[in-house]
Amino acid sequence: MGGLLSSPKTDKYNETGCGNGLRYGISSMQGWRLSMEDSHCAITQLPGNLKDWSFFAVFDGHAGALVSELCATELLKCIVDTEEFKKINPDLAPSLQEVERGIRDGFLSLDDRLRHLPQLASGEDRSGSTAVCVLITPKHIFFANCGDSRAILIRKGKVAFATVDHKPVNPNEKQRIQNAGGSVIIQRVNGSLAVSRSLGDYAFKAAKDLGPTEQLISPEPEITVVDRDKDLDEIIVLACDGIWDVLTNEEICSLLQNRMRCVDDLSMICNETIDMCLYKGSSDNMSMVLVAFDPAPRVDPTCKTEDENLESVLLQRTKEFLEKHSKTEVTTEMVVEDLQTSVGSLSSSENWLCNKHVYIYREGCVVMTNWTILAMLL
């Protein structure tokens, strides 16, 4: 999916907002990739009669950013423009099946519309994009996934639900690929594409005798409906595979449970998570949307004070270490070794300790944070 930069671009786009009893934070970063191909969408109040419905999505583009950018602006429009959504009466509970059909038809409609854009129809642009989204209504959460981006629901401090990544090696996906005349080589469709469902990627959707969901690459989302529990629902996370490649669902869950007790800014928590993924070896673009319900953890003054104190101590310890050494000779391993003796005496909570972010500079660039340093110790 393209080459890498000589050093990562760590500037981040941030966004926060609230509405319908939800708070959200967003962070996205180009990282090591030559260009930024991720996009996202956050709408706390849908238009028209659906003002108490909310929509959040992450789109992970490949071979270019065009399709992911169009998904971010057009997917929700395509969904609410379906016949199923036009029939929804806000005073009556809609059929779950109708909403599911509307989401599915919205995905297929968008994929068909994009196909006819001149740059995509001509093959000049060959980009595609995964899509993972949630539609939150007063009583239900609709998860829709197409590709290998992922969403998880956290309830009472545990992962209660996670979408399934669409990979070519999955039995059902592999069967469809083979039925369409393709093959799975080195875990990729025809040895090329690492996902088995996406929007765009029309070079893999060229069989005229097959329907849109029967092609080598399908634009059909997998949809799951979860009943809302207003006492237990805490967090929804949507993120691209640049996050999930290096952190498990459970690790994200544990990390958020700790950070939300120390930091109120959800976009900052997303920033810290992305920084940690960068250190852990993710070379992809990274995007993360964090949606918090009312029962989500809130800042605990004691945790916040301890967090700030630890950050101050580690920052001072790191500065003292760097002053003793030439910038050119400093390595992350050396800093870690120096901090090892101080970490144990500061706190017995390893999960808490891994959540700091002291900046280390080498040749004028931030190369890592003590969040990532301490992750090496745990």
The region of weakest confidence among 3-7, 82-86, 193-197, 318-322 is: 318-322
Domain ranges of the chain: 4-292, 301-377
- What digits encode the pLDDT tens for the residues 145-164? 999 999 999 999 999 999 99
Determine the pLDDT at residue 363. Answer: 30
Determine the pLDDT at residue 114. Answer: 98
Query: Comparing 153 with 356, which gets the higher pLDDT?
Result: 153
Contacts of 335 (CB under 8 A, 6+ apart): 318, 321, 322, 360, 373
Dist. CA 184–CA 34, nearest whole Å = 27
Percent of the chain clearing pLDDT 70 (strictly above): 86
Whether pLDDT at 346 is above 50: no
Residue 316 pLDDT level (bands cut at 50, 70, 90): confident
CA–CA–CA angle 5, 270, 374 (5° rounding): 80
Q: Provide the Cα torsion 296, 297, 298, 299; round to 10°.
A: -150
**What is the amino acid identity at position 162?**
A
In the chain the first and final C-alpha atoms are separated, in Å, by 32
Dist. CA 335–CA 9, nearest whole Å = 23
**Contact status, residue 355 vs residue 307, Cβ threshold 8 Å:** yes
Whether pLDDT at 314 is above 60: yes
Dist. CA 126–CA 36, nearest whole Å = 16
Give the chain's radius of gyration (CA, Å): 22
CA torsion through residues 267, 200, 163, 275, sign: negative
Determine the pLDDT at residue 344. Answer: 53
With residue 60 as reference, give the H or E element that holds it.
strand 54-62
Reduce the secondary structure of 255-304 to three states and give it as a string.
HHHHHCCCCCCHHHHHHHHHHHHHHCCCCCCEEEEEEECCCCCCCCHHHH
Whether pLDDT at 246 is above 80: yes
Give mean pLDDT, residues 239-260: 95
Q: Count of CB atoms within 10 A of residue 337's CB?
A: 11
**Contact status, residue 199 vs residue 107, Cβ threshold 8 Å:** yes
Contacts of 268 (CB under 8 A, 6+ apart): 14, 25
**Contact status, residue 285 vs residue 194, Cβ threshold 8 Å:** no
Determine the pLDDT at residue 362. Answer: 32
The region of weakest confidence among 3-12, 125-134, 187-196 is: 3-12
Residue 59 pLDDT level (bands cut at 50, 70, 90): very high
Whether pLDDT at 170 is above 60: yes
Q: Which architecture, in CATH terms, is 4-292?
A: 4-Layer Sandwich (3.60)
Residue 332 pLDDT level (bands cut at 50, 70, 90): low
Angle formed by the axes of helices 332-346 and 370-377, to 10°?
80
Give mean pLDDT, residues 58-83: 98
- What digits encode the pLDDT tens for the residues 266-284? 999 999 899 889 888 899 9
pTM of the model: 0.88
Q: Which residues pair with 225 in a beta bridge?
A: 142
Measured CA distances, 276 to 3, 59, 226, 288 (Å): 22, 21, 30, 13
Question: What is the total residue count of the chain?
Answer: 378
| Two tokens, residue 74 | 């057009």
Percent of the chain clearing pLDDT 90 (strictly above): 74
Under DSSP, is residue 3 helix (H, G, I), strand (E, B) or coil? coil
Determine the pLDDT at residue 2. Answer: 57
Determine the pLDDT at residue 220. Answer: 99
- What digits encode the pLDDT tens for the residues 199-228? 999 999 999 999 999 999 999 999 999 999
Give mean pLDDT, residues 309-313: 75
Residue 166 pLDDT level (bands cut at 50, 70, 90): very high
Dist. CA 356–CA 262, nearest whole Å = 10
CA–CA–CA angle 155, 161, 166 (5° rounding): 155
Average pLDDT, the chain: 88
Whether pLDDT at 325 is above 90: no
Whether pLDDT at 27 is above 50: yes
Determine the pLDDT at residue 339. Answer: 67
